[in-house]
């Protein structure tokens, strides 16, 4: 976590002088490469590939968590509830099968473990039974196989805003409402993957909030925009299938742990539900938990006299038969849900009308 903390300080402009000297030149070179690449795509010098299926892309401008996976789940449910079959494609970051093409889930069956599929695809497969989930670095190839194998009514592409090789019919960009661009610099001196003007490519912008963060006010945005909040839903025990309402957390002494992009946000969410995190263990993002780790966590919980042990959904998919509590969350559009739903479904209807 030290490297992550150091970069977080850099990206919030609380950096020592030597870090600026080291990171700014690298950031400049990275920005030049990104601008040249975007110029070549904008002018048609680099090709884009259209799939025989409408494509909905979900992505962001910064590294770290902005809610792409929860929004992908929400969009998939909107499509399925309207009577269409979506298929989800993702890179499968940190999964062993990232370089190939992998079918993570088909119909009601999950075919690959998180170690191969990657954390996010495995989580989506567990939450979206009956919806195909595929992974691979080459999203064009993955999309072709998804269309050939499952004949979906649309493809929902997780984390593809920068994957410009794939043509998309609807480009959804997620931006954190709080500190949306960090210090405004590109990697590695800042959190931006692309210059801020890249947001002009988006068809829809969603500003994401976590927990009880206040609603922001945005003006002068030509693109349709919405505000979404990642909210706690309930508690779940994977090993038994039991669930508890959020009220169960009130007054509970909790030993919490999380290996996500922003682990502190998980502790904050527990407090917002009335829990008392008596011990909190942050792990690196995508951390591969071992039996030894779990025994250590349980020992710390016992020493702290915690009533329960709790983690995130993304962490729980990496732990076989997790016998403790998982805080389940869901993304909700706050203001304009019907309009957002219509944008999604009209993309599919329009494509079908002309193809």
Stretch 100-120: mean pLDDT: 94
Indicate whether 32 belongs to any domain. Answer: no
Does residue 244 share a domain with residue 122? no
Average of per-residue pLDDT across 141-166 = 98
Distance of alpha carbon 58 from alpha carbon 47, whole angstroms: 20
Domain identity same for 278 and 142: no
Instruction: Enter the tokens of residue 5.
Output: 């903390």
**What range does the domain containing 150 cover?**
55-229+332-354
Q: Quick count: other Cβ atoms within 10 Å of Cβ 176?
A: 23
pLDDT category of residue 20 using cuts at 50, 70 and 90: low
Q: Express each pLDDT in 250-274 by its tens digit.
A: 999 999 999 998 899 899 999 999 9
List the one residue out of 106, 276, 128 whose CA is nearest residue 120: 128
Q: DSSP class of residue 146? A: H
What pLDDT does 223 receive? Answer: 77
CATH code of residue 82 = 3.40.50.300
249 and 340 inside one domain: no
Residues of the chain above pLDDT 90, percent? 79
Neighbours of 186 (CB within 10 A): 25
Average pLDDT over the chain, rounded to an integer: 92
Q: Could you tell me the pLDDT band of residue 177, with boundaries at 50, 70 and 90?
A: confident
Q: Note whether 333 and 227 are within 8 A (CB).
A: yes
Q: Are residues 244 and 225 in the same domain?
A: no
Q: What is the pLDDT of residue 341?
A: 98
Q: Do residues 85 and 156 both lie within one domain?
A: yes
pLDDT digits (tens, 9 = 90+) for 220-244: 666 788 999 999 999 999 999 999 9
The number of distinct structural domains making up the chain is 2
Q: Is there a single domain that holds both residue 186 and residue 306?
A: no
- In angstroms, the CA 117 to CA 181 distance is 29
Q: What angle do CA 257, 262, 268 make, to 5 degrees?
A: 65
Query: Is residue 263, in this structure, part of any structural domain at all?
Result: yes
Q: Are residues 65 and 210 in the same domain?
A: yes
> Three-state SS for 139?
helix
166 and 305, same domain (yes or no) = no
% of the chain surpassing 70 pLDDT? 91
Q: What values do phi and psi take at 341, rounded to 5? A: -60, -40
Give the model's confidence band at 313: pLDDT under 50 very low, under 70 low, under 90 confident, else very high: very high
- pLDDT at residue 213, as a whole number: 67
């Amino acid at each position: 976590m030290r490297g992550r903390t150091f970069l977080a300080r850099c990206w919030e402009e609380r950096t020592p002088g030597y870090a600026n000297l080291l990171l700014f030149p690298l950031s400049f070179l990275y920005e030049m490469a990104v601008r040249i690449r975007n110029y070549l795509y904008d002018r048609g010098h680099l090709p884009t590939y259209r799939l025989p299926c409408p494509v909905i892309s979900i992505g962001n401008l910064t590294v770290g968590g902005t809610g792409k996976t929860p929004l992908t789940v929400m969009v998939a449910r909107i499509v399925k509830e309207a009577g269409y079959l979506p298929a989800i494609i993702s890179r499968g970051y940190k999964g062993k099968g990232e370089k190939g093409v992998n079918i993570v889930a088909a119909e009601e069956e999950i075919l690959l473990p998180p170690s191969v599929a990657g954390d996010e695809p495995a989580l989506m497969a567990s939450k979206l039974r009956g919806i195909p989930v595929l992974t691979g670095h080459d999203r064009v190839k993955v999309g072709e196989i998804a269309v050939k194998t499952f004949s979906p009514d649309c493809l929902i592409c997780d984390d593809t805003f920068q994957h410009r090789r794939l043509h998309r019919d609807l480009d959804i960009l997620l931006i954190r409402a709080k500190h949306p661009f960090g210090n405004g610099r590109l990697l590695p001196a800042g959190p931006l993957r692309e210059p801020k003007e890249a947001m002009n490519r988006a068809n829809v912008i969603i500003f994401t909030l976590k927990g009880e963060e206040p609603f922001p006010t945005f003006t002068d945005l030509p693109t349709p925009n919405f505000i979404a909040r990642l909210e706690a839903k309930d508690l779940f025990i994977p090993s038994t299938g039991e669930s508890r309402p959020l009220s169960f957390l009130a007054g509970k002494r909790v030993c919490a742990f999380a290996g996500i992009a922003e682990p502190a946000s998980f502790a904050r969410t527990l407090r917002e539900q009335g829990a008392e995190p008596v011990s909190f263990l942050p792990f690196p993002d995508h951390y591969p938990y071992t039996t030894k780790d779990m025994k250590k966590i349980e020992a710390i919980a016992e020493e702290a006299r915690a009533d329960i042990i709790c983690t995130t959904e993304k962490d729980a998919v990496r732990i076989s038969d997790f016998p403790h509590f998982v805080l389940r969350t869901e993304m909700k559009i706050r203001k304009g849900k019907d309009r957002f739903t219509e944008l999604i479904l009209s993309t599919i209807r329009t494509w079908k009308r002309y193809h």
